[in-house]
Amino acid sequence: MSEKDAIERRRTVKYLLIHAVIILAAAICVYPLLRIFSVSLRPGDKLFSTDLSLIPDGATFKAYASLLKDTMFLRWLWNSLLITLATSFIGVSLASTAAYAFSRFRFPGKKAGLILLLSSQMIPAGMLILPLFLMIMKLKLMNTYLGMIIAYSVSSLPFSIWILKGYYDTIPRSLEEAALVDGTSQVGAFWRIILPLSTPALSIAFLFNFTTAWNEYLVARVVLFSSKQYTWTLGLFELQGQYITQWGMFAAGSMLVTIPVLAVFLYSSKWLISGLTLGSVKG
């Protein structure tokens, strides 16, 4: 066998191995989702069936229909969407400006501030419940969207600041200096040069804020107490009774709540491109 054939064979084996691992990982990730999808389609009498087929016998969208008709699911979804989008936009806006200050300016307490932000991420979320509860209660924002938005925005801010600061650090300062000489203010340079170049990091921060707020349960449980204000995480939990849990609707709800996250992921993926600063400076 020639050396060329050996190289080709090695390449094929490597290719197959890589794909085998990817397919296995994908299967592990997708399997629970498929099971839930399968459960959501089952007729009421087959909820506890051990059948493994994806589309069960007598598959029906009844669970979806009753979820939308008989519960306040759409209202919960709307609440979640409102809180999540507001949290994401506010969080990213605050983080992008704060991170810029940390990246570009020298000021007393800069290093301590960054370490403080990082250390706040090491505190388990559960431990923050009580202080958040007290803060929101004193602000008289219990059971309000605003209370939820504040709670979510502040908790994901440190991570977003670190992500964005790290990215800003990689953007050459000479670009802002060129903009200053060209006639922008410091804020103008940030707005016109730095922000457009930071879309990959901004997307990551937005996605992080979005998924964290969308899936959050604990804080919502503490802050919200009327079912009209519930987010979908609290709402779906309502379907679990003391004696009976409506698994069909539960599964249908679980499937429906993935749609907004999927949509946001797919949309923001176009911003997750590398090499935006290519060509700006000698590389």
Partner 1 sequence: MASVQFKGIVKKFKDNLVLNGVDVDIKDHEFVVIVGPSGCGKTTLLRMLAGLEDITGGDILIDGLRVNELHPSKRQIAMVFQDYALYPHMTVEENMSFALRLRKTDKAEIGARVDEAANILQLQKFLKRMPKQLSGGQRQRVAIGRAIVRKPKVFLFDEPLSNLDAKLREEMRVEIAKLYQRLNATIIYVTHDQVEAMTLAGRIVIMNHGIIQQVGSPIEVYRKPANLFVAGFIGSPTMNFMHGKLALDGEHLRFSSGDIKLTIPPYLLHDPKKHDGREVTVGVRPDDVLVGRTADGCSDKVDGVLEVCELLGHRENLYIKVGETRLLATVEAFFDRSPGSAVQVCFNYKNMHVFDKVTEKRISE
Q: How many Cα atoms sit within 13 Å of 12 on the Cβ side?
A: 6
In angstroms, give the least distance from the CB of 279 to partner 1: 3
Which one of 44-52, 148-156, 175-183, 232-240 is the stretch in contact with partner 1 (CB under 8 A)? 175-183
Please report the sign of the dihedral spanned by the C-alpha atoms of residue 33, residue 35, residue 36, residue 42.
positive
Token pair, residue 124, equals: 């388990």
What is the C-alpha R_g of the chain? 24
How many residues interact with partner 1 (rule CB under 8 A)?
A: 24
Nearer to partner 1 by C-beta: 131 or 196? 196
268: left (phi over 0), alpha (psi -120 to 50) or beta: alpha
Question: Out of 55, 196, 269, 272, which residue is the one contacting partner 1 (CB under 8 A)?
Answer: 196
Which one of 34-42, 60-68, 91-99, 183-191 is the stretch in contact with partner 1 (CB under 8 A)? 183-191
- Report residue 139 CA to chain centroid gap: 27
Nearer to partner 1 by C-beta: 199 or 215? 199
Token pair, residue 152, equals: 């979510």
What amino acid occupies position 164? L
In angstroms, give the least distance from the CB of 198 to partner 1: 10
Which one of 36-44, 95-103, 192-200, 223-231 is the stretch in contact with partner 1 (CB under 8 A)? 192-200
What amino acid occupies position 160? S
Position 177 contacts partner 1 (CB under 8 A)? yes
Residues binding partner 1 (CB under 8 A): 172, 174-175, 177-185, 188, 193, 196-197, 275-282
